Amino acid sequence: MREFGSEFEIGYLPDHYFSRLAKLLPSHAYTRSGREAIGLAIAGIEPGMALLPAYCCWSMALPFEAAGWTVNYYPLNQDLSVKIPQLVKAVKELKPQTVLVMDYYGYAPTGDAVKAIKDVDESIMIIEDFTQCLLSLPEIYNPGVDCYVASIRKSLGVPDGGVVLSKRELNVSLLSKERTAFVEHHIDAGRKKKCYTYSADASDKQTFRELQAAAGAEIKADYHLYKISPEAMAIIEHTDVETVKFARKNNYEHLYNLVSDNPKFKVLFAPGANPAPFMFIVNSLQRDALQSAWAKQGVYCQVIWPLTDEAKKICPVSKWMEETILAIPIDQRYNYDDIEEMGNRINSVVL
């Protein structure tokens, strides 16, 4: 039962999580976005060949392409782990300067892939995108990785934010301190969305959506290396990450117990050792119909991501993910009662 009254809870005392992250590798920086974290990671390196997992967002390839690199892709298994033999074959044939790996949703460890790459050529720069396990890096840290990059905004309530940790010295002077419309729009959108939670006024929601759309258009049109905003940095420095991790893990397990038997979809990952799940991933051949039906029930799910034609040709699993995935939110915004209601709404849909 939802409770009202009593004392305020405290969930915003700093536990210095990001300060501890910064000490994992010799050099670090905070950027406006994850794509700019990748851009800074490769800045100053002679452009060459980059190998990326086929299941990746266009924004992950953008920094390489903008810097003059050639991008190729390697395939994944059904559980989103790397197809090691095919990766090794690609590394030997294409001789990439860098390979990007990703621990998908915190349930697809990259350790075997990193070892396989280094066994072929120790000089290859390995970049790991840890966006989907941002709050779990100390637990999954691999000294074989040369550079870690992530978007922070996907996991915390910040208007902007990316982070890069590198063995190689980063040229932070390349980061512009200029204030961008992307940041301004996101701050205004976030405030308006908060107002909507109190007012339930449709005009507040419409304004939020318009500002959010404007922010998205702005960052697509303006790829550059920007420093993180002071507002975002202040939030990061005062975030109680341990509480956030507790919320995500419990929410994931709670929702799994409520909906895992639903025949309309398959849950991709059962709860496990992941200390801070990113999202609750399901796959369904009725994906579009489910997404629409759940949205009418107030449960909004993302599709991650639209892929390039080349990536889909190389990896049928990635193509299948693009066509069937729904990502259900289970983050720290939601409490026990919220997850209970979410599960009931999801299970109530009849197609």
pLDDT at 350 over 80: yes
In a domain, 305, yes or no: yes
pLDDT, average across residues 300-307 = 94
pLDDT score of 155: 96
pLDDT, average across residues 39-53 = 98
Query: Do 198 and 303 sit in the same domain of this protein?
Result: no
In a domain, 164, yes or no: yes
Query: Do 189 and 299 sit in the same domain of this protein?
Result: no
Mark out the alpha helices in 282-335 (DSSP H runs): 287-296, 309-314, 316-324
Query: Do 206 and 137 sit in the same domain of this protein?
Result: no
Evaluate whether 185 touches 192 at the Cβ level (below 8 Å).
no
- Rounded to an integer, what distance in angstroms lies between the CA atom of residue 215 and that of residue 196? 19
CATH number, domain containing residue 335: 3.90.1150.10
Angle at 264 between CA 273 and CA 293, to 5 degrees: 105
pLDDT, average across residues 143-172 = 97
pLDDT at 2 over 90: no
Cβ neighbours for 271, distance < 8 A, ≥ 6 positions apart:
249, 252, 253, 256, 277
In a domain, 227, yes or no: no
Evaluate whether 264 touches 347 at the Cβ level (below 8 Å).
no
pLDDT, average across residues 28-54 = 98
91-138: pLDDT as tens digits: 999 999 999 999 999 999 999 999 999 999 999 999 999 999 999 999
In a domain, 296, yes or no: yes
Query: Do 150 and 57 sit in the same domain of this protein?
Result: yes
CATH number, domain containing residue 125: 3.40.640.10
- Rounded to an integer, what distance in angstroms lies between the CA atom of residue 187 and that of residue 57? 24
Number of domains in the chain: 3
Q: How many residues does the chain have?
A: 351
List, as one string, the DSSP characters of 107-133.
Answer: -S--HHHHHHHHHH-TTSEEEEE-GGG
Structural domain including 313 reads 241-346
The residue among 53, 55, 51 whose CA lies nearest residue 322 is 55
In a domain, 5, yes or no: no
In a domain, 3, yes or no: no
Evaluate whether 97 touches 147 at the Cβ level (below 8 Å).
no
Query: Do 43 and 162 sit in the same domain of this protein?
Result: yes
Where among 174, 194, 212 does a domain terminate?
174
Evaluate whether 77 touches 317 at the Cβ level (below 8 Å).
yes
Where among 117, 144, 174 does a domain terminate?
174
Residue 13: band (very low, low, confident or very high) from pLDDT cuts 50, 70, 90: confident
pLDDT score of 9: 83
Mean pLDDT of the chain: 96
Query: Do 192 and 150 sit in the same domain of this protein?
Result: no
pLDDT score of 3: 83
pLDDT score of 351: 87
In a domain, 267, yes or no: yes
Residue 23: band (very low, low, confident or very high) from pLDDT cuts 50, 70, 90: very high
Residue percentage of the chain with pLDDT more than 70? 100
Phi, psi of 177 (to 5 degrees): -95, 5
- Rounded to an integer, what distance in angstroms lies between the CA atom of residue 71 and that of residue 93? 14
What pTM was computed for the model? 0.96
62-97: pLDDT as tens digits: 999 999 999 999 999 999 999 999 999 999 999 999
Query: Do 168 and 285 sit in the same domain of this protein?
Result: no
pLDDT, average across residues 333-337 = 96
Query: Do 87 and 195 sit in the same domain of this protein?
Result: no
Evaluate whether 285 touches 324 at the Cβ level (below 8 Å).
yes
Phi, psi of 171 (to 5 degrees): -90, 85
The residue among 240, 207, 246 whose CA lies nearest residue 16 is 240
pLDDT at 271 over 80: yes
CB-based contacts of 124-127 (< 8 A; 24+ apart in sequence): 124/91, 124/96, 124/97, 124/98, 124/99, 125/45, 125/97, 125/98, 125/99, 125/168, 126/98, 126/99, 126/100, 126/101, 127/38, 127/41, 127/42, 127/98, 127/99, 127/100, 127/101
Residue percentage of the chain with pLDDT more than 90? 94
Query: Do 217 and 84 sit in the same domain of this protein?
Result: no
pLDDT, average across residues 327-338 = 97
pLDDT at 273 over 90: no
The residue among 30, 63, 59 whose CA lies nearest residue 228 is 30
Angle at 49 between CA 45 and CA 51, to 5 degrees: 115
Where among 118, 152, 174 does a domain terminate?
174
Query: Do 76 and 156 sit in the same domain of this protein?
Result: yes
Query: Do 105 and 22 sit in the same domain of this protein?
Result: yes
In a domain, 231, yes or no: no
Query: Do 169 and 187 sit in the same domain of this protein?
Result: no
166-222: pLDDT as tens digits: 999 999 999 999 999 999 999 999 999 999 999 999 999 999 999 999 999 999 999
